[in-house]
With several copies, the nearest count.
Chain A
């Protein structure tokens, strides 16, 4: 009976935190953000060298065979550091192939995904944000795909795209496949740019697994997004603490004003205790199948909603400077705006929690 991290997990988080803070300091983060590709090969290589790309993949394909919790802890730290890049979607897509692919597909794809030499992403949403297959129309007929997917992260960068089909299965499409058009959408979070994919008779491999894999990918994804929002909000709080301890107005540090100090404390109060919420979701997705889906949806809706509010208040606590492009704050605020919408808004996930409970 232990609801805590192992020494290995503590070490994993420390390692990742140190890597990001050294390799992606805010100046570099700003530069990548401004460039808009949301990717820096050197950073990706660093992530790969840490062995993170195949964290949840089977050892036989070069993965580390770890659990959702480990992945979530990494996502928390990458978010804390603001690391741009395809890590989260790559991990989800690779996990999907590992779960739904046959042994041939696993053998062909997983090694390169595990060592980061190939990058994968996930194409799910349709319309204005339909994240579940019952609202999709993308289908595979005779080995080719028809349909349109939106909000696909790192769409043009990825070597492989895992596509959700309207029958709940998944298909795999290679970069540059015939009949595949990638239309960039201008995303708010420039560390994770998104695009629209149009499939018009695009050749694909359909993966064997049934709808359960898609459900699991959704649950894992919600958990990782919750961890990402938690890490981002934690960073915002630290930024606000640092700023208000330094900035002076009316002859004293801003943090000496009780109204400011209490606003910060309330903000931290909304975020810090929710760490346990995403830990629990991560654990439940792997070990408590009855609770997994609902825990993941609850954690994502609760944390991303609180994190959005934290973002707004941290801007406020920075005064005018918090509103500028050159300030660090908006980088994390926009990261949270991604986390909030991807795989469903807080409101839609709350409704789903109510349904899952049979209310």
Chain B
């Protein structure tokens, strides 16, 4: 065990820091519009081998050999100065890895570069009103008609659908096949006639999610990724990428620090709440969970770097539930610290989801958000099944036969 970096990696960090002296942009460039500044610097980062390190050059990445430690150093330093780095949206974060694994050469060339620059924004079309935790029961049909699919049905919980150019999603292309086997993974241009986006309103007052309706929307058959009816396997791979986006320990630490700030600001019996023995007990108990997330993350990271990920399999499959549970503990504690201001509604600026919380109403929003669909019943029950069955070899539930 050694928490210091090797000489090689220290040197690499030096190089990264040297490169980062170029951000923020100086001189003429500093006057460019924000989006252009970011795009410019991101491209420099790609060229220098720091951004999209593992995406091949021919698709617009840096094409560097895999080195999770270098990844971590770059991420750490880019974040420290707020420099534009890999986009973490659904295009670069989820679609690109999927295409790299399952896409045709043509699909890769067509879609990856623009997803990486953000020139084309993507949304994810998985959930449907009738299929929540039971994702594979989805009903949105895509019927083959010549060399096009004709899509009818509905998706829900589609974040950013209102500003996305494209959707990747699962559609039932072979209704006669068994449940998991009749699904294909398609790429849908959101400007296709017959595609309509309607924002959902959440109980927080925010509108982070949308419904997407399909009414005879036509998609070329070349937009299918992977085999016909093989979409389930493709999406599983994508979900693994999604899981890597969740449970970021830095976000957790920030959230905990915000809680401490609240506990310093709030009064209990004429003193800051952080001096109250009851609150101290709760805070340290929560910190135990936060530190567990942080250190377990280090453990998993090191195991992955060593190619020993199997050893960290159990904590890895626990990450999602453990992180959301921990976030909920933080948010519940903050909410409990609020007195009368716990009766106030979040304002528009408070609607930040997992973002930083600095006001009472921000914490009310965070509390409500913590009840949200990311962690809702079905989802956590499915996580528990995974842990019990795959992690500890417990038997599956007795289930009714699958519908065909």
A interface residues with partner B (beta carbon < 8 Å)? 1-6, 69, 125, 127-129, 131, 150-151, 185-190, 194, 237, 241, 244-245, 248-266, 268-269, 272-277, 279-280, 283, 287-288, 295, 298, 301-302, 305, 312, 315-327, 329-330, 333-334, 337-338, 340-342, 344-348, 350-351, 353-354, 359
Q: Give the distance in Å from the alpha carbon of A257 to the alpha carbon of B130 in the complex.
A: 17
* A contact residues around B399 at 8 Å (CB): 250-251
- Among B1, B291, B343, B395, the residue within 8 A (CB) of A5 is B1
Q: Max chain B CB contacts within 10 Å: which of A251, A280, A323, A326?
A: A323
Q: Are B292 and A302 in contact (CB under 8 A)?
A: yes
Q: Is B308 an interface residue (CB 8 A)?
A: yes
Q: Are B69 and A354 in contact (CB under 8 A)?
A: no
Q: Are B315 and A298 in contact (CB under 8 A)?
A: no
Q: Is B281 an interface residue (CB 8 A)?
A: yes
In the complex, residue of chain B having the shortest beta-carbon distance to the beta carbon of A189:
B343
Q: Give the distance in Å from the alpha carbon of A250 to the alpha carbon of B394 in the complex.
A: 17
- Among B318, B397, B402, the residue within 8 A (CB) of A256 is B397
Q: Give the distance in Å from the alpha carbon of A109 to the alpha carbon of B395 in the complex.
A: 54
Q: Are B384 and A187 in contact (CB under 8 A)?
A: no
* B contact residues around A353 at 8 Å (CB): 284, 287
Q: Are A276 and B292 in contact (CB under 8 A)?
A: yes
Pick out which of these stretches binds chain A: B108-116, B170-178, B196-204, B238-246. Answer: B196-204
* B contact residues around A301 at 8 Å (CB): 284, 288
Q: Are B391 and A265 in contact (CB under 8 A)?
A: yes
Q: Are A273 and B293 in contact (CB under 8 A)?
A: yes
What are 15 sample pairs from A and B whose C-beta atoms fall under 8 A apart?
Answer: A2-B3, A189-B343, A245-B393, A251-B402, A255-B395, A263-B377, A276-B299, A276-B315, A277-B296, A298-B288, A305-B285, A318-B376, A340-B342, A350-B281, A359-B274
Q: Is B344 an interface residue (CB 8 A)?
A: yes
Interface residue total, chain B, C-beta cutoff 8 A: 99
B interface residues with partner A (beta carbon < 8 Å)? 1-6, 9, 69, 127, 129-134, 137, 156-157, 200-203, 205, 266-267, 269, 274-275, 277-278, 280-281, 283-285, 287-289, 291-293, 295-299, 301-303, 305-306, 308, 314-315, 318, 321-322, 325, 336, 338-345, 347, 360-361, 364, 368, 371-373, 375-381, 384-385, 387-389, 391-400, 402-403
Q: Give the distance in Å from the alpha carbon of A342 to the alpha carbon of B302 in the complex.
A: 32
- Nearest CB of B to A112, in Å: 28
Count A-B contacts at CB 8 Å: 287
* Given A249-B137, A345-B342, residue A323 in contact with residue B392 (CB < 8 A): no
Q: Give the distance in Å from the alpha carbon of A295 to the alpha carbon of B322 in the complex.
A: 20
In the complex, residue of chain B having the shortest beta-carbon distance to the beta carbon of A276:
B295
| Closest 8 pairs (CB-CB, A-B) | A129-B339, A129-B340, A302-B288, A276-B295, A330-B203, A325-B201, A320-B373, A350-B284
* B contact residues around A342 at 8 Å (CB): 340, 343
Q: Give the distance in Å from the alpha carbon of A74 to the alpha carbon of B9 in the complex.
A: 32
- Among B132, B321, B336, B400, the residue within 8 A (CB) of A251 is B400
In the complex, residue of chain B having the shortest beta-carbon distance to the beta carbon of A126:
B340
In the complex, residue of chain A having the shortest beta-carbon distance to the beta carbon of B270:
A135
* A contact residues around B392 at 8 Å (CB): 237, 241, 264-265, 268
* Given A2-B302, A250-B134, A252-B400, residue A276 in contact with residue B296 (CB < 8 A): yes
